[in-house]
Amino acid sequence: MQTPENGVKGRIHSFLSMGAVDGPGLRYVVFLQGCPLRCACCHNPDTWDAAGGTEYTVEDVLRRVRRCKPYIYESGGVTVTGGEPLAQPVFTAALLKALRAEGYHTALDTSGAGALAAAREVLAHTDLVLADLKFSSEEGYRAHTGGSLAHTLDFLALTQELGVPLWVRHVVIPGLTDGEAHIRALARMAGQFHNLQKVELLGFRKLCLEKYGAMGVPFPLADTPEMDAAALCRLEDAVRRELPDLA
């Protein structure tokens, strides 16, 4: 059914029709264009430029999603990510609203960057938030993302206020965020939110090097080794000790 929201336009970087690591089940993933942060470990630098990508209407996206409905509708859904989807809050809210109206489970993969008033409208149409909690200190945020821990925690508090289920994700970077004390502090920080369902630790990888090279932009962590799988498992155990009530 055509609604006013279906004509809202936004800029999109790309689509992934069968995502298996972007929320529960198989999911259609929409990568929006534009991000205000400059995270040292960013693996999608080609999404930074808000003027890049291609313009689509909400209806354009719905047509693409519908083609995958037999695979994603029952046990998966649609994840909107980026870039930073809250950098295009009007489009993101309209898209999530339209997806929900058609019965899809909606997930928002976000750093929380952006105005909280605008985020509130987006969250009104969101079934699950996948939130990137990047550092356990304000200093770490400022130095390595250009963002703010305080603002991120305010966003997480908003998800709790609105009762939106929350998964917290954290990239574990050797020599930077791989200390057990840091991971335990981050787990405690996430655990203060009663809507928290899961904490996911993601091992740092360098699959993005070719993108940085093509853009002529130096990758800040080019000399950092990728995360060791066994060490990551030990840190996951530390999270479970801090948050034993999580599944």
**Four-residue CA torsion sign, 133, 74, 94, 17:** positive
Report pLDDT digits (tens) over 71-88: 999 999 999 999 999 999
Q: Which residue has the tokens 């298996």?
A: 20
Tokens of 83: 């870039």
Sheet holding 196-203, edge to edge: 54-57, 9-19, 27-32, 77-81, 106-110, 128-132, 166-172, 196-203
Report pLDDT digits (tens) over 32-65: 999 999 999 999 999 999 999 999 999 999 999 9
For residue 247, name the pLDDT band (cuts at 50, 70, 90).
low
Interior CA angle at 52 toward 50 and 54, to 5°? 115
Report pLDDT digits (tens) over 77-127: 999 999 999 999 999 999 999 999 999 999 999 999 999 999 999 999 999
Report pLDDT digits (tens) over 156-209: 999 999 999 999 999 999 999 999 999 999 999 999 999 999 999 999 999 999
CA distance 150 to 128: 21
Q: Quickly name the fold that domain 4-242 has.
A: TIM Barrel (3.20.20)
Q: What is the pLDDT of residue 246?
A: 87
Residue 139 has pLDDT above 80, yes or no: yes
For residue 3, name the pLDDT band (cuts at 50, 70, 90).
confident
Q: What is the pLDDT of residue 1?
A: 58
Interior CA angle at 148 toward 142 and 149, to 5°? 110
- List the chain domain ranges: 4-242
